[in-house]
Homo-oligomer: A and B are copies of this chain.
Amino acid sequence: MAKAESNVSDGLTLDLVRDSLIRQEDTIVFSLIERAKFPLNSPTYDPSYTSIPGSCGSLVEFIVKETEAIQAKAGRYENPEEHPFFPDNLPPSLVPHHKYPKVLHPAAMFVNINKMIWDMYFNKLLPLFVTPGDDGNYASTAARDLECLQALSRRIHYGKLVAEVKFRDERKDYEPAIRAQDRDTLIGLLTFANVEEAVKKRVAKKAVTFGRDVQLGDDGNKGKYKLDPAIVSRLYGDWVIPLTKEVEVEYLLHRLD
């Protein structure tokens, strides 16, 4: 506690970081439940399905790229916690500059692993939690995918703040590993198996709680939920936690630059 409170100068504390990570779990579970409303809708991901002038990929690429461009104009990516999936040729913000608190080392702006997140989401996670089928709602499906991607990206890149607060609290442990550019030692310093197990259990419980059919009287789920709790637990164990460590390590390797 005393350690966390030592970082009050710019408002970054371990408690605030932890609260944000926990709150972001809800957002991720909500967004996956909402995506699971729709079947797979494979034309959304098929570059040969449609040819929109000025776009050469799939419908989901079109939706994500164009929506990011609008949100960029509205200033979304001025916030260092937000990371675009298509950073090339992103239009500049057209709104007055907002002073977000500067808590990260400037090297943070070069860490963006959204390509890995995109690949994980579409090639590994999505097939696990949607039903097969096609209901024609490709635009809405792609909009739901964007929500999932943004929630996952925000959570995983929050690793920068996690790394910063841990670095400040245990500077003498981290500095030698950073100077030696020693990834394995950094991964070791960042790993707390018991915390990871608790997170996996908690997100599964969130899938149970948020994915139930709420009814007046007793809820009548009988173990059937809108989103399989085991998949959410696996999402965290296999991908969110390891990808967050990837962000943490990439950030820390340049923390003393």
Contacts and interface: CB of A to CB of B under 8 A. Distances in A.
Interface in A71-112: 71, 73-76, 78-79, 82, 94-96, 98-100
Interface stretch (A1-9, A61-69, A155-163): A61-69
A59 B33 contact: no
- Copies of this protein in the assembly total 2
Interface stretch (A45-53, A123-131, A174-182): A45-53
A205 B209 contact: no
A94 B52 contact: yes
A143 B63 contact: no
Contacts of A98: 136, 138
Contacts of A76: 137, 139-140, 143
A239 interface: no
A53 to B, nearest CB: 7
Interface residues of A, number: 53
A212 B209 CA distance: 9
Interface in A143-201: 143, 147, 198, 201
Nearest to A213: B22
Contacts of A52: 73-74, 94-95
A70 interface: yes
Given A63-B70, A63-B71, A79-B137, 7 more contacts: A50-B96, A52-B94, A59-B95, A76-B143, A100-B136, A198-B216, A202-B215
29 contacts: A22-B213, A27-B34, A30-B34, A49-B95, A50-B94, A50-B95, A50-B96, A52-B74, A52-B94, A52-B95, A53-B94, A62-B70, A62-B74, A63-B74, A71-B139, A74-B142, A75-B139, A76-B137, A76-B139, A76-B140, A76-B143, A78-B136, A79-B137, A82-B140, A95-B138, A98-B136, A206-B214, A209-B214, A210-B214
